[in-house]
Amino acid sequence: MQAMVLKKPGKIEENPLQFQEVPNPEIGLKDILVRVQACGICHTDLHTVEGELPLPKLPLIPGHQIVGIVEKKGTEVRRFNLGDRVGIAWLNSTCGRCEFCQSGRENLCEQAKFTGYHSDGGYAEYTAISENFVYAVPETFSPTEVAPLLCAGIIGYRALRLSEIKPGQRLGLYGFGASAHIVIQIAHYWKCEVYVFTRSEEHQKLALDLGAVWAGKAEQIPEKKLHSSIIFAPAGELVPYALEALNRGGTLALAGIYITPIPQLDYIEHLFYEKTLRSVANSTRKDGKQLFKLASEIPIRTQVTIFPLKEANRALQLLKHGKINGAGVLEILQEPKVSSYR
């Protein structure tokens, strides 16, 4: 199969991903082989490729917002049939036994493994995974439309929940990329007032088109204090601005897996009056199921820029510099074929 392979981390401007022919993945008794149709690109992919996250394996095929067709399945697979369209997200496996898994917090499992990080992901023609960590994908969405929901959507939804926003309240979104352009649609559905903070004039325009009541830059403090906010941009310097804009008792959720250093905070100015600052770590399968239900109800419409698989480096370069409005998606075009692996 053809894939974009990372052999050594490097700045994305140096094109570290190499387009190669590699063996098709093998599958176990409870695994499915998925013929990839589309794979969303994500800031986590960028942090992986550039080495900002410690890498558990090399060479590595990134990508964890995968939509495809079940091409082959192990003999013990019961949930899916050949030809089914499925989605694969960041959470790839958990132990199922620890205190976190047993209490509905599998996203915190210390033995958790992640797609496109511990195992090869979707920047390829095929990928394999246990049926237990696969989603049934609504047929109302095309593969390129639904791909961003599998991480940008799921982690955005979890961040929205952990921000403790209530219907009708004021929500701040810092950074307006793939996740934020999905979250604003959920917040609007909940009749929240959304304030968007981003440097990009194009992103500000998209935010207003999607229903934001205000759009500006992070250092601008809106006239009305916000009840909750989410920082999607991997920029620690945004934290003081966001905390200053919060109302008393408000919550700020940090949605990224990586963020640059947070500046020193002033207790009275930034945190007093019971403000909450919290991180958002991964997501659960329950988050994904709830997000897909909402996506069909609203319905969520993703704005995507499509790239061929060979242009994954260029797509990530544009993502790094904020040049993608909405979400970027790799479209993998190929003729169906059955793997010889058993």
What gap in Å lies between CA 171 and CA 164, rounded to an integer? 10
- Which token pair is 139? 């047929």
β-strand partners of 35: 69, 126
What confidence score (pLDDT) does residue 339 get? Answer: 39
Backbone angles phi, psi at 312, to 5 degrees: -60, -40
What gap in Å lies between CA 243 and CA 169, rounded to an integer? 16
**CB-CB contact of 212 with 184 (8 Å):** yes
**CB-CB contact of 265 with 239 (8 Å):** yes
Backbone angles phi, psi at 66, to 5 degrees: -110, 130
What confidence score (pLDDT) does residue 206 get? Answer: 95
Q: Yes or no: is domain 2-148+303-331 CATH 3.50.50.60?
A: no
Alpha helices, DSSP H only, in the chain?
43-49, 99-102, 143-146, 152-162, 178-189, 201-209, 238-245, 285-297, 312-320
- Which token pair is 89? 């997200």
Which residue in this structure is represented by tokens 């100015």?
A: 269
Q: 154-279 belongs to which homologous superfamily?
A: NAD(P)-binding Rossmann-like Domain (3.40.50.720)
What confidence score (pLDDT) does residue 333 get? Answer: 84
CB atoms within 10 A of CB 269: 10
What confidence score (pLDDT) does residue 335 get? Answer: 54
Task: Report, as ranges of residue numbers, the positions in the chain whose pLDDT lies below 70.
Answer: 335-342
**CB-CB contact of 160 with 180 (8 Å):** no
- Which token pair is 263? 């500046």
What confidence score (pLDDT) does residue 17 get? Answer: 98
Of the candidates 89, 115, 111, which has an alpha carbon nearest to the alpha carbon of residue 101?
111
Q: Please, what's the b/e burial string for 150-173 (b: 16 or more CB within 10 A of its CB; e: otherwise)? A: bbbbbbbbbbbebbebeeebbbbb
What confidence score (pLDDT) does residue 341 get? Answer: 31
What gap in Å lies between CA 17 and CA 37, rounded to an integer? 19
CA contacts within 13 A on the Cβ side of 214: 19
Domain definitions of the chain by residue range: 2-148+303-331, 154-279
